[in-house]
Amino acid sequence: MNNLVPNKKIYAVVICYNSEPVIEDLYNKIDQNLFDKIYFFDDNSTDNSYKIARKFDWHVVKNEKNLGHGGNLKKAIETAFLDGADYALEIHGDNQYNPNSIIHAKHLLEDNCDLIIGSRFVNRNPYFDDDMPLFRFISNKIMSTLTSKLLSINLSEFHTGFKIFSKNFYKQIPFKDCSNNYLFSFQIILLTKYFNLKYNEISITSSYAGFRASCGYFNGLIYVANNFTEMLFYFLAKLNIYKSKIYKKNFRS
């Protein structure tokens, strides 16, 4: 039983690809009293991530083939909720985000919020406070502000790897039809708004020192371009002009 919200089962799901140097540090950072169970999903890494992860007291799963960032997270979400979770926290294996920041979400978990976003821009400036690279800071801030204004989604950040998913999110959102790459993380926010689920955000910190496995700048540019495509699909669905697969009802019982 977790000591954060004892009447709800809170799982942590670590998604990892080639994060060998920081796995032990990540494990030691996690306050296990905050979680009922911790899963570690290795996405068929080419380094020793799986071997190292097996040394620690969490449930380790190795994908038979590389599923991609979104594909691995889909598998993690599915596994957690089929195993009885009420909430599942996404943790990145590169140790960029502090998983213990979930303590700031206590009131939202008690209020049955469906998707909780960890934002580096809530009462903070990650460029000054966390040494976020300037180009990443500017592009994230511009795209997040633009998306928030255009889509009327009240969030300060859309491009973060810290998310807490609810069982209701799992049942209501057709996330399996979303992208298998980093675009998945953007799509699910739009879907949460589109299907009128409860969402909110908390303040988190991040680290950019040492090893990191973030999306590279070239792939980042492709990701940004795809963001505009996804915003167009969102508008078309809202106006009932055209609904792509992810905007069609696909509820689970």
What are the extents of the domains in the chain? 10-247
Entry field: residues in the chain: 253
- Note the pLDDT of residue 210: 73
Burial of residue 123 (number of CB atoms within 10 Å: 0-12, 13-18, 19+): exposed
**Distance between CA atoms of 83 and 85, rounded to whole angstroms?**
6
- Note the pLDDT of residue 206: 92
Q: Are 116 and 204 in contact (CB under 8 A)?
A: no
**Distance between CA atoms of 193 and 213, rounded to whole angstroms?**
29
**Distance between CA atoms of 172 and 77, rounded to whole angstroms?**
13
**Distance between CA atoms of 212 and 84, rounded to whole angstroms?**
31
Per DSSP, which regions of the chain are E strands?
A: 10-16, 37-42, 59-62, 87-92, 115-119, 163-166, 199-203
- Note the pLDDT of residue 253: 43
Q: Which residue has the tokens 């106006």?
A: 239
- Note the pLDDT of residue 209: 80
**Distance between CA atoms of 136 and 160, rounded to whole angstroms?**
12
CATH superfamily of 10-247: Spore Coat Polysaccharide Biosynthesis Protein SpsA; Chain A (3.90.550.10)
Q: Average pLDDT of each block of 10 consecutive residues along the chain (253 residues)?
A: 96 97 97 98 98 98 97 98 98 96 98 98 92 92 97 97 98 97 97 98 90 69 93 97 88 49
- Note the pLDDT of residue 216: 67
Task: For residue 176, report the phi and psi dihedrals to the nearest 5 degrees.
Answer: -65, -20
